[in-house]
């Protein structure tokens, strides 16, 4: 992982997180949120596959495509 679980999430849009419950979240908070969401809508034995893309390492031009 290129980011620490304790790092603050990067803001991609200046207004995106402003005044929201996510404003102070760290990566671990997002991971927990999404995994709990998957758990609440799936069967108890459903596997979860986490894929790391390193999208944060792509240039802005490449990531737009």
Q: What is the pLDDT of residues 15-47, one digit of tens each?
A: 555 667 777 888 899 889 988 998 899 888 888
Q: How far is CA 42 from CA 1, 35, 38, 47, 48, in A?
A: 26, 11, 6, 9, 10
Supply the pLDDT for residue 29: 92
Structural domain boundaries of the chain? 1-65
What is the model's pTM? 0.58
**CA-CA distance, 34 to 40, in Å (whole number)?**
10
**CA-CA distance, 26 to 22, in Å (whole number)?**
9
């Amino acid at each position: 992982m290129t980011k620490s679980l304790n790092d603050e999430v990067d803001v991609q849009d200046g207004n995106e997180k402003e005044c929201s419950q996510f404003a102070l979240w760290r990566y671990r908070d997002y991971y927990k949120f999404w995994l709990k969401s998957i758990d609440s809508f799936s069967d108890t034995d459903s596997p979860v596959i986490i894929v790391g893309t390193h999208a944060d390492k792509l240039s802005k031009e490449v990531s737009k495509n």
